[in-house]
Amino acid sequence: MNMTTTIDAPVSSVTVFVDGARVTRKGTKSLGPGEHEILVTGITKFAEDDSFRVKGTGKASLRGINSSTRKEIYEPEGDTEKLRNKLKKLEAERDEINDEVELQQARIDRLQTVLTSFSEEFGKRYAFGDSEIAALSTLDQETTAMKQEAYKKLRDLQMELEKVEAQISEVRNSLQRIEGERRIEVTKDVSIQLDVKEECTVQLEVTYQIREARWIPQYDIDVVGNRTTMKRLALIWNHSLENWTDVELVVSTASAKPVSKIEPEPLYIRSRRGDTVPTRDETEEVIAEIERAYESVDDMRSAPARVAETTAGGMVFQVPGRVTIPADMDQHPITLLEEVFESKEIYYWNAYAMDSFVIQNRITNGDSLIIPGKVKVYADGDFLSETAISTVAPREEFHLGTREAYDIKGEKKMLEKETEKAGLTRGKKRREYKYQLEIESFTKEPVTVRLIDRIPHSDSERINVQLENLTRDYKSMELGVVEWEFEMPAEEEMRIEYSYSVEWEKEIEIRPPLP
């Protein structure tokens, strides 16, 4: 005969994925020899039935597990029937008052109609000497008195109606409050069948998967000269209806969705390779590895998360200590890691689209993957802007921290413009331009300048564009976009000049028009 025992197994650890979470509950119980049914109750209704797993320690054998749904109805406290009867009585009284209001209003309308009709008819009779003026005066006095009486009655009814409406509203609010307290709570139970060999204490661990939790990354980046500090944050949502109180927390870039193999298909026109997503098994192996390798931190700063990289390139962060994340609609920020990167200030100017220079930091990522997320950018502690970052591979370069540069100026000037026919026999037209890019530095030290400009570009064989007479070699040119990068000496001026020509067949109309 099975002995049924309920065990207290609160949530002890959670692994949050980008689109779900794995929850672990732990509990212990002293059991005598024989067959036992152990119940773990109060599990969120969002737990996926096919995700339940059980393991444990103790002198017992696991025979099987089952999950079931439990519904509990909580009835409200209060006499709703009495309130409903009162509401019906008040609504009937309100209907009677409304009928009386309509009656008084109709009475006033009839008196006004009679008076108007009599006045029109009295004028005709008075003209022929059939009526006296005293008759009109008498009728006017009588109808005015009757109208005043009706108006007074109407005002009294409206005041009475307002009182009844207020009472109806109060009763309805009381009903809604009481009926709103009635609720149905749905939870899940897990039944664990054990065969206990001898009296012992068993420790059970129940894990399950939920979809109603997730996290997104956020980064706080502080750029200071050639040093950039990045703090990784996880914004965690817990919509599971069960609080995670004093739990061990792991944050993983893995997906909780199942990984499947897609067979190849022929005749792809375009394709895109998505980011590799580590599997759940790989994540679990990495968690076990970093738990074995963990060493405590003794300084006063917030301890960083233990971090490891999965074989598929994902990241797993073991948050130090214990964390509480309630089940609510709020986001809960958790600090994962703080890293220091090498960076370099670059003075950037797009000469054809920008009036002035800006400064950016060219940052070299460390050994960890940066996944897409929001970024708050600071310069030496001062807030600059909020932006977003895409995926950055380990040791890849990226740019952040765009801000105004006040210690270097740039100006683009057109020096020459010449239009001529390239030859009547050839039937072509030609136009030549000469530009100057003037840069003036007020910096106290040399700086790196990245300068962008462009000339026209065409993929038509009937339009030919040539860049000529550069006074400084460019770093790259693609589709007419020219880029220079060089060291600008402190407190000096520099001029870069170049020319370009455009030659085209005379019957062609160029769009957009040339300068």
Residue 142: CATH number of its domain:
1.10.287
Element (H, E) at 84: helix 80-128
- The terminus-to-terminus CA distance of the chain in angstroms comes to 95
* pLDDT given at position 176: 79
Average pLDDT over residues 70-87: 77
* Burial tier of 424 (Cβ tally within 10 Å: 0-12, 13-18, 19+): exposed
Q: How confident is the model at residue 437 (pLDDT cuts 50, 70, 90)?
A: very high
**Do the domain assignments include residue 513?**
no
Q: Is it the case that residue 120 has pLDDT exceeding 70?
A: no
CB 192 within 8 A of CB 38: yes
Do residues 255 and 384 both lie within one domain? yes
**Do the domain assignments include residue 88?**
yes
Do residues 303 and 383 both lie within one domain? yes
**Do the domain assignments include residue 511?**
no
User: Tell me: the pLDDT tens digits for 271-327?
Assistant: 344 444 455 555 556 555 545 544 433 443 445 666 655 545 578 899 999 999 999
Query: For residues 396 and 181, what is the distance between their CA atoms, to the nearest angstrom?
Result: 56
- Which residues in 150-160 are b (16+ Cβ under 10 Å) and which e? beebbeebeee
Cis before 372? omega within 30: no
Domain count, the chain: 4
Do residues 328 and 371 both lie within one domain? yes
Q: Among residues 87, 56, 75, 264, which one has the least CA distance to residue 174?
A: 87
CATH number at residue 493: 2.60.40
Average pLDDT over residues 123-142: 61
Find the largest Cα–Cα distance for the chain.
Answer: 126
**Do the domain assignments include residue 270?**
no
Do residues 382 and 236 both lie within one domain? yes
Do residues 14 and 158 both lie within one domain? no
Average pLDDT over residues 57-68: 90
Element (H, E) at 170: helix 133-180
Domain holding 150, by residue range, is 80-177
Do residues 333 and 466 both lie within one domain? no
Do residues 440 and 467 both lie within one domain? yes
**Do the domain assignments include residue 355?**
no
Higher pLDDT: 256 or 173? It is 173
Do residues 39 and 100 both lie within one domain? no
**Do the domain assignments include residue 400?**
no
Query: For residues 427 and 506, what is the distance between their CA atoms, to the nearest angstrom?
Result: 6
Do residues 237 and 370 both lie within one domain? yes
Do residues 342 and 228 both lie within one domain? yes
**Do the domain assignments include residue 240?**
yes
**Do the domain assignments include residue 271?**
no
Do residues 65 and 190 both lie within one domain? yes
Per-residue H/E/C for 104-166: HHHHHHHHHHHHHHHHHHHHHHHHHCCCCHHHHHHHHHHHHHHHHHHHHHHHHHHHHHHHHHH
Q: Which of 177, 197, 224 is the last residue of a domain?
A: 177
Query: For residues 285 and 308, what is the distance between their CA atoms, to the nearest angstrom?
Result: 10
Tell me the whole-structure pTM to 2 decimals: 0.60
Q: How confident is the model at residue 146 (pLDDT cuts 50, 70, 90)?
A: confident
User: Tell me: the pLDDT tens digits for 188-237?
Assistant: 999 999 998 889 999 999 999 999 999 999 999 998 878 899 999 999 99
HSE on the CB side for 293, CA within 13 Å?
11
Do residues 221 and 157 both lie within one domain? no
